Every structure is written in C-alpha cells, then in structure tokens.
C-alpha cells in the first residue's frame, strides 16, 4: 500500500505539533518521590517530549480516534502494574493502595510530559525486587525439609496482594525451596545445588540493577499503547533498531549472536555467511571481555548490559572492530586473544524463506510437493531506497525458490507454510500474492478518514500456475492473513490448518526524529544536555545524539477482496485441523482493546475457480484421517491436559511426591513417543535419550500434504486459467 501522499500530509501536521510541544516542554514536571534503599531511575527530558507527542499522534491519527482520558489512564495503571508484577509476588497491598492516587491522573500527566508517577512506581518495584533477592539469597542456605507436605502457589494473579512483608517472605521462601527441589531432582548433590542457586540469584540481581530509564520507559509505553489498541507500539531507539533489522532480515556487524553468562557476554552462535563465520577466528562459546573501535583503545565490557555491548560491536560495514576474547573452554584468568573483524552487511538466511521437497503417495499415485517455509514478510527497505538492485525481500526469495522447484525439482504442487508467520511488510504480501494470481486486487484498506483503497497486483503473469496450498495456524497473522485470504477468495488454492490470529489492522512506522527539522532537533539536544539522568544518550550534546525512537501507529484496517475484514476473525481454513495453540489464550479476539470485525463492499475481482465442491471431499477425507491418527489423538489429549494445568496454581514441595508425579509424566511421554516411533519404523528410545532432529515428525505438515494429494486426485489434470476467466477441470 502507498501511504506516501497521506504520510506527507501527516508529516506537515506533525511538524506543527512537535514544534508547539518542544516550545512548551520547558514546564517542569512534578517532583518525583524518592524511594529509599535503591538507585532511583528517573525519566529524561527526551522521554518527556516523546510521551507528549505519542499522545498527540494517538489522539489525532490512530484509527480508533480515541481520546486519552481518565478511562485510558485507569487501564494504563493496571497494565503497567501487571507488567511489573503479574504474579503479585513483589508489591504489597499498601503499595497498590498508594498507587491508586494515580489512577485518573496519568492521562493529564502524559499530556504535560510528566512521567514522575510511573517512574516512582517502578522504583518501588525495584525496591521490593531487591528485598526479594536479599531475602531469598539468605534462605538458600536454610536447611529445608523436603519431606514436608506443603505447597508453593506459583500463580497468584487472581489472589489478593500480600498484606505484609511477612506474607511475601513466606511465599519467597517456598519459591526458593521449589527451585532447590527442582535441582535436587536432577540428581546433583544438595551442596552443589545451593551453590548453583546462589549464583543464579546473584546474577539476576546484578542484571536487574542495570535497568535504566530506557527500559522503564519501554515498559510504560507498552502498557500505554496496548491500552489503546494491541498493535500501536512505541519503540525506544534500541528496540526500533531491532524491529527494523527483523523486517529487513539483515544488519551491519560481525555476524554473531550473544548472550550473558555470569556478567560476561558469550558468543552463542556464529551466523553463517557473516564476517565472523568467514574469518573463523571467533567460535560459539567464546567470551568477549573488551571491545575496541578500529585501532582505538580497548574498553572493558565485563559486567555491562548486553545491549550496550552489542551496540559497541555492531557498526557500519567496512569498519573494523577488535575484540579481546577468552576462547571456549578456557578460564577467565586465561590471557585473552585479540581478534580483528571488519564489519559487513549480514543477511539472516536462517530467518528467510526456505524450500524442501517431499513425495507422497495417494491411491497408488506419487506426487512431488514443494514446501516453501516463510517465517515473515520481510524487505530491506533501506537497501531498496538506496538503489541496491539486490536488496533482500520475501517476493524475490520466494520467486527464486519457485523457479528451482519448478525447473529443477519438477514438483507437481507447491505448499506455502505460513505457520508461525506473524506478518510484516504489506507491500510484500501484495507482491507475493502476485506470484500466484494474474493482475487483480489483493487487499482493501480503509484509512481513518473512511477512504477505501484497493491495492492490486499490477504485474502480468504468474510464477506458479499449478496446484497450490497454504498452511496456517493461530500464530499466522497480518500479512499472512492477507495472502491466505486472497488465495482463498480467488479460489487459487486450498487453505489448511487452524483459524488464524485475526490481526487486520495497518500500522505505519514513524521515525519521530524525521517529523521535525534539524534546527528543532538541536533545541531538543540543548534541553537534554542539561539532563544528567541515568539512561540519557551518551556523547556530546547535539542533534545527532537525539533519538526520539519510533512509533508503529494503527492508521488503517485491512479487508479482503471479497469485503470481509481479517480483523478479529482472521482466516478460516478450507480444511481445518485441531489447533496446536490454545485458541482462547492467543488471538486478536482475546485482546480487550482490539477493533471489531466488519465488512465493506467487495472489490472488483474475479475468482479463478470455485473450489466449493472440491473442498467438501477434502474435508471428509481429512476428518477421517484425523479421527484415526494417533498424532492427532495425542494432540487432543495435550489440549485437554493444558486446560487442566491452566486451572492449577500450586505445586507440591514434597520431593518424593513431586518426583513420583514427574516420573509418571515422563514415563507416559516416553511410552507415547515410542508408540509413535514404532508407527514410523523407528527404534524405541530409552529414558533420557535425546531424539535427533532427523527423527522429528511434523504431523500437521504430513496431513496437509495428504490434503494436497487428495486435491490433485479430485481435480485431475486441470488447467487453471489465471486470466480471471475461471478454472477448468
């Protein structure tokens, strides 16, 4: 969809809003109460500006046309407290009572750029959390009786807030005991378990102490935007970078994934094709202790936050970074090795479209089916805008895979696997649909003014005109639903799986820095330069150091070419399987602030086929197979067991009883696994033996391929006319 003219109009209006707000931001917020015993995290002036502008943007341009009022304020307070302490493990009832004074004032505070209340609430939380760590560390050394018949209530969400510190202490004591019981059940000596748990708590305490105002602001903004609608999101600068890298499936750096381990960052994975992979000097398991830019001085990074270390290691392609590394298997006291790496653009191939080919037999006839797994609808917009002819995108990748499946693998059918695909680029959803249909409408979009725009595939011809299917599940959302809905409405293929998520709203990504001119950025930088609060962007004051973050603002709503919204209801498959995911826990219809389902007039599209008669036979055959399938039988049992577990809120702390329960569960799981392996001609496995990746079986995929086999059997050698004149059998 082309929002260019619309966004240009908004940009001019936004400039006025931002200019007025910046000039008004001199007003001092209320004094933030001090919480004794912890380092108090405070907002900076940049965040005070951002909260005001986000309010303005939501009130003026969010699709719901909502006003930030007392009702929203109340929702934000509840969501914010829940996001900090969902299990009611840290706050006291007296804390919650004190926070009530903010219930109907946050809306006015946000409009004034005042963040003192939510930051105060966080600092109270930080104090309680620190009390938990200190108390629990002392309790670890207690000699517990693991033969007692007491229980630990791990889910206190529906219970009252603890009335006293004594009540919380008792719950914390039981949590420590539960964690020790779990460690005991692994067969490790109690003394070693005490040591392990002590290290775990100290590490958690250390990492928690590094929380800065960007972290707190992100938690708050999540609570705020989710109170408006589930998909309007504000991202602080680091989160905005992560989001955009996810969309482009690329970044500039060394090509390594990192994780924290006892205050030291460790390489968890080397990304294939990246500079670290090519250089072969860095290995998974290596620990990085210091970083230097080019030939500059090394900076020790032990104990740093992982995002700060990542920021130092990443950088523009062509630049050099040096690392001090303790090789895997060596002690921290070992002499570090110095590694030089020149940064490059790293393509995340493991998160891109992939293909495989499987052969199935239906009524004695063999069919080769190509399966394209698509994890998201991605596009490197930055590279595309820069004129890079080889920029990465979903449609480009899939077209290459189709060419290979068609000309090399000689497949009879193709299945697009969109399970777990949460969406992404709308442009890519439209162009990808165009690989399977000739010119025509793909999606309709209604903006906040009520104007309906029909977005079409304008490219003649198709990449694949043979039998086609699409696999979806409850996690298939947004762009996935646009693609699946268009394929279904056109009668271009068979949709298989479970009802999709139901995310039918359009978000426009707005870089807040781009809404104001450099001169105004310089004024903001001057304001921020006076603020020495923890978390303010490092470096000299200046417009280049101001980063206001990014907002993904819900500005429109999707509709299928036939007129039905994908919002709330999602896409109902032609052939439905039991859902692997709980339908009552996941999905747009579980979100209180979600927009409703509705319909608009159909677009001027012409279906290529009417598959209604074919679907009836496919459904009948699939239901018979599922009824006789051991895999689906166990899936249904798992769904029933999950509902039963959801009703449980406690666990026994008697070690023998807990061990008996787990042994019984493990025995049941092992017996089930071996029963399924026997069906597939695989040898039985023993307790504790790991299943190899080659032995895993995707029964949802298997049933989908059988549906495709039935589809080809029922339709025979058909010719699909993709000039919008129908399909002949």
* Residues identified as active-site: 478, 489, 503
Residue found by looking up tokens 């990085």 in the block: 288
Q: Is the separation of the CB atoms in 77 and 220 below 8 Å?
A: no
Query: Distance of alpha carbon 333 from its chain centroid, rounded?
Result: 38
Q: How many CA atoms does the CB half-sphere of 435 hold within 13 Å? A: 20
Q: In 3D, which of 505, 496, 506, 492 has the Cα closest to residue 418? A: 496
| Structure-token pair, residue 696 | 């895993």
Q: In 3D, which of 215, 212, 8, 29 has the Cα closest to residue 117? A: 29
Q: Give Cα separations from 395 to 376, 377, 400, 430 (angstroms).
A: 11, 8, 9, 9
| Structure-token pair, residue 477 | 């959302």
How far is the C-alpha of 414 from the C-alpha of 228, rounded, in Å? 40
| Structure-token pair, residue 4 | 């260019």
Residue found by looking up tokens 């807030």 in the block: 161
How far is the C-alpha of 394 from the C-alpha of 406, rounded, in Å? 18
DSSP codes of every residue in 154-214: ---TTSPPBSSHHHHHHHHHHHHHHHHHHHHTTT--HHHHHHHHHHHHHHHHHHHHT--HH
Q: Is the separation of the CB atoms in 526 and 543 below 8 Å?
A: no
DSSP codes of every residue in 660-671: HHHHHHHHHHHH
Q: Which contacts of 356-365 are long-range, i.e. CB under 8 A and separated by 24 or more positions?
A: 357/405, 357/409, 357/411, 358/705, 360/705, 360/706, 360/708, 360/709, 361/709, 362/706, 362/709, 362/710, 362/712, 362/713, 363/713, 365/713
How far is the C-alpha of 83 from the C-alpha of 86, rounded, in Å? 6
Q: State the DSSP code for 599.
A: B
Strands 468-472 and 452-457: unpaired
Q: Which residues pair with 726 in a beta bridge?
A: 721
Q: In 3D, which of 113, 104, 115, 114 has the Cα closest to residue 56? A: 113
Q: In 3D, which of 251, 292, 290, 293 has the Cα closest to residue 273? A: 251
Helix (H, G, I), strand (E, B) or coil at 151: strand
| Structure-token pair, residue 499 | 């009802």
> 432-450 as b/e, with b when 16 or more CB fall inside 10 Å?
bbbbbbbebbbbbbbbbee
| Structure-token pair, residue 446 | 């209604």
Q: What is the CA radius of gyration of the chain?
A: 28
SS3 for 648-661, per residue?
CCEEECCHHHHHHH
**Largest Cα–Cα separation, the chain:** 79
Q: Is the separation of the CB atoms in 710 and 621 below 8 Å?
A: yes
- Say if residue 147 is exposed, middle or buried (CB neighbours under 10 Å; 0-12, 13-18, 19+): exposed
SS3 for 268-284, per residue?
EEECCCCHHHHHCCCCC
How far is the C-alpha of 72 from the C-alpha of 94, rounded, in Å? 23
């Amino acid at each position: 969809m082309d929002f260019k003219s619309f966004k240009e109009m908004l940009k001019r209006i936004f400039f006025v809003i931002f200019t007025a707000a910046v000039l008004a931001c001199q007003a001092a917020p209320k004094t933030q109460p001090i919480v004794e015993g912890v380092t108090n995290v405070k907002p900076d002036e940049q965040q005070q500006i951002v909260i005001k502008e986000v309010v303005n943007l939501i009130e003026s341009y969010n699709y719901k046309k909502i006003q930030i009022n007392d009702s929203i304020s109340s929702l934000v307070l509840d969501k914010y407290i829940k996001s900090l302490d969902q299990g009611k493990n840290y706050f006291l009832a007296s804390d919650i009572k004190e926070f009530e004074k903010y219930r109907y004032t946050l809306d006015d505070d946000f409009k004034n750029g005042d963040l003192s209340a939510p930051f105060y609430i966080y600092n109270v939380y930080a104090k309680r959390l620190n009390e938990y760590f200190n108390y629990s560390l002392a309790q670890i050394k207690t000699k517990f009786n693991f033969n007692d018949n007491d229980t630990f209530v791990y889910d206190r969400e529906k219970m009252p807030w603890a009335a006293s510190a004594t009540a919380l202490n008792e719950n914390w004591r039981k949590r420590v005991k539960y964690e020790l019981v779990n460690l005991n059940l692994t067969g490790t000596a109690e003394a070693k378990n005490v040591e392990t748990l002590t290290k775990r708590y100290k590490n958690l305490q250390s990492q928690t102490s590094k929380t800065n105002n960007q972290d707190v602001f992100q938690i708050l903004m999540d609570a705020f935007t989710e109170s408006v609608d589930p998909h309007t999101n504000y991202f602080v600068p680091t989160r905005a970078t992560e989001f955009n890298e996810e969309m482009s499936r690329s970044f500039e750096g060394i090509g390594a994934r990192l994780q924290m381990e006892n205050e030291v960052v460790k390489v968890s994975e080397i990304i294939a094709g990246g500079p670290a992979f090519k250089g072969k000097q860095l290995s998974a398991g290596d620990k990085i202790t210091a970083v230097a830019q080019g030939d500059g001085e090394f900076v020790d990074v032990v104990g740093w936050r992982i995002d700060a270390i990542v920021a130092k290691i990443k950088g523009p392609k062509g630049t050099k970074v040096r690392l001090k590394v303790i090789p895997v298997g060596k002690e921290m006291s070992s002499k570090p090795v110095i590694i030089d790496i020149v940064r490059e653009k790293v393509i995340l191939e493991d998160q891109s479209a992939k293909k495989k080919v499987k052969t199935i037999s239906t009524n004695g006839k063999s069919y080769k089916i190509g399966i394209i797994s698509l994890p998201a609808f991605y596009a490197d917009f930055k590279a595309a805008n820069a004129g890079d002819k080889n920029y990465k995108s979903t449609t480009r990748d899939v077209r290459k895979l189709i060419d290979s499946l068609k000309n090399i693998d000689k497949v009879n059918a193709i299945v697009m696997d969109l399970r777990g695909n949460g969406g992404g680029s709308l442009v890519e959803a439209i162009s990808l649909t165009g690989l399977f249909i000739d010119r025509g409408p793909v999606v309709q979009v209604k903006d906040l003014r009520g104007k309906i725009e029909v977005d079409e595939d304008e490219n003649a011809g198709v990449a694949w005109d043979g039998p086609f299917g699409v696999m979806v599940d409850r996690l298939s959302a947004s762009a996935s639903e646009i693609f699946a809905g268009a394929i279904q409405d056109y009668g271009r293929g068979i949709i298989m799986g479970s009802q999709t998520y139901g995310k039918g709203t359009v978000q426009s990504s707005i870089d807040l820095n781009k809404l104001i001119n450099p001169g105004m950025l310089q004024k903001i930088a001057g304001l921020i330069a006076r603020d020495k609060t923890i978390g303010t962007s490092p470096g000299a004051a200046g417009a280049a150091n101001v980063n206001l973050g990014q907002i993904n603002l819900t500005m429109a709503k999707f509709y299928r070419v036939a007129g039905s919204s994908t919002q709330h209801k999602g896409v109902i498959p032609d052939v439905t399987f039991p859902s692997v995911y709980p339908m009552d826990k996941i999905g747009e219809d579980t979100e209180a602030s979600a927009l409703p389902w509705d319909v608009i007039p159909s677009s001027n599209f012409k279906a290529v086929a009417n598959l209604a008669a074919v679907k009836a036979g496919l459904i009948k055959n699939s239901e018979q197979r599922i009824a006789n399938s051991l895999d689906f039988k166990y899936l249904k049992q798992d769904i029933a067991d999950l509902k039963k577990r959801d009703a449980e809120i406690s666990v026994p702390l008697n070690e023998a009883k807990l061990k008996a329960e787990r042994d019984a569960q493990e025995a049941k799981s092992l017996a089930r696994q071996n029963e399924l392996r026997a069906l597939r001609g695989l040898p039985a496995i023993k307790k504790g033996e790991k299943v190899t990746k080659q032995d895993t079986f995707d029964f949802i995929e298997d049933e989908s391929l059988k549906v495709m086999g039935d589809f080809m059997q029922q339709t025979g050698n058909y010719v699909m006319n993709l000039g919008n004149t129908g399909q002949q059998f």
